[in-house]
């Protein structure tokens, strides 16, 4: 009797273990892995198995069959987005079963990104934070740099928040502070188009700028969207609200914005992102502003990473002569979560 009970309990736990880890991938080598597929991003598939304490990272171009038991968000080339269940019926192909039970078939190579759709609203967020601190005995110089990112993705909406802050203290020298942040909302449309709303913020002692808030609204298009490259272009209008340390210089103006973002994928553990924004003024004759950002991140184990960044701000008609250009290099160590 005891043996039968032990056999029943063992079988039950074995079945539960299988049902909890029943995603399947088959590689072009013929090998098969069963586990829980965490995500596909930047040419890499991440899978957790029952017999390993670490996730496996597999080059996605080596995968020829794919079965996922949970509902997923799939981003295809051309930034086509689908929500549904994934199953390979033929080699090199996938079938996506949508909510209305409609089935669509695509080549596996068309997948740019894939991740589980979490029903819990808060679990759809992803965040990261990194910091850097420098201290020198000469002039008792201290420098602290902090940056963070928060983003949310759903079927038709994308939200992203960024902040970068630099604070430098030096004996017998005025304190240097610089903070730039942004909130961005994207609503996906048909034919690779999207609506974009953004609220950038900049505070910069170098340019005697207490605050610059520039809410923008426009439309964009995905020019290139593959599992190797991403290129987006957008344009619209901006209301520029500027407050300076000298309040007599405070002003409001209207601008056109033209922006482009470029990303490179599948460079092992590196992420590369760069974006350029041009702001020709409508209300101020001859004024022209530019914001440029570049970020390079290298992923480490346990969701840690090393990050390098460069930001440049240019204004051909600054409020204070000689402060037309400001730039900053940053480096830091960070952690991403969720």
Average pLDDT value for residue range 10-30: 62
This model's pTM is above 0.85: no
What percentage of the chain exceeds 70 in pLDDT?
86
Average pLDDT for the chain = 82
H or E stretch including 3?
helix 2-20
- Whether pLDDT at 275 is above 70: yes
* pLDDT one-digit tens code per residue, 80-104: 888 888 898 888 899 998 878 888 9
Q: So what's the pLDDT on residue 120?
A: 58
* pLDDT one-digit tens code per residue, 148-188: 889 887 767 888 999 988 888 877 777 788 899 999 999 88
- Whether pLDDT at 265 is above 70: no
Are 328 and 311 in contact by the 8 Å Cβ rule? The answer is yes
Residue 122 in 3-state DSSP? helix
Q: So what's the pLDDT on residue 12?
A: 43
* pLDDT one-digit tens code per residue, 283-332: 999 999 999 999 988 888 777 888 888 989 899 988 777 778 888 888 88
Average pLDDT value for residue range 57-78: 84
| Rounded-to-integer distance, Cα 88 and Cα 82, Å | 16
249-255 contacts: CB < 8 A, separation 24 or more?
Answer: 249/208, 249/319, 249/320, 253/281, 253/282, 253/283, 253/284, 253/287, 254/281, 254/282, 254/283, 255/214, 255/279, 255/280, 255/281, 255/282, 255/283, 255/289
């Amino acid at each position: 009797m005891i043996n039968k009970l032990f056999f029943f309990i063992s079988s039950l736990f074995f079945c539960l273990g299988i049902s909890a880890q029943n995603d399947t991938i088959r590689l072009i080598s013929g090998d098969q892995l069963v586990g829980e597929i965490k995500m596909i991003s930047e040419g890499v598939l991440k899978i957790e198995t029952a017999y390993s304490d670490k996730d496996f990272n597999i080059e996605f171009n080596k995968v020829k069959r794919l079965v996922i038991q949970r509902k997923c968000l799939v981003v295809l080339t051309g930034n086509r987005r689908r929500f549904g269940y994934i199953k390979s019926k033929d080699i090199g192909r996938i079938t996506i079963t949508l909510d209305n039970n409609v089935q669509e078939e695509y080549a596996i190579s068309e997948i740019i990104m894939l991740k589980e759709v979490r029903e819990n609203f808060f679990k759809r967020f992803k965040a990261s934070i990194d910091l850097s601190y420098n201290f020198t005995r000469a002039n008792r110089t201290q420098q602290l740099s902090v940056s963070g990112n928060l983003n949310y993705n759903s079927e038709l909406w994308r939200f992203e928040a960024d902040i970068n802050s630099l604070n430098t203290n030096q004996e017998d020298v005025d304190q240097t502070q610089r903070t730039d942040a942004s909130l961005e909302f994207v609503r996906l449309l048909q034919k690779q188009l999207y609506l974009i709303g953004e609220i950038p913020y900049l505070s910069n002692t170098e340019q005697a700028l207490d605050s610059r808030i520039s809410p923008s609204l426009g439309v964009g298009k995905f020019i290139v969207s593959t599992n190797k490259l991403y290129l987006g272009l957008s344009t619209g209008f901006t209301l520029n609200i500027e407050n300076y340390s000298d309040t007599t210089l405070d002003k409001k103006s209207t601008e056109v914005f033209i922006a482009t973002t470029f990303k490179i994928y599948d460079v092992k553990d590196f992420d590369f992102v760069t974006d350029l924004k041009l702001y020709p003024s409508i209300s101020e004759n001859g004024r022209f502003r530019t914001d440029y950002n570049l970020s390079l991140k290298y992923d480490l184990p346990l969701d840690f990473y090393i990050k390098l960044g460069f930001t440049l701000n240019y204004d051909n008609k600054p409020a204070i002569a000689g402060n037309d250009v400001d730039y900053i290099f940053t480096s830091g160590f960070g952690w991403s979560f969720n």
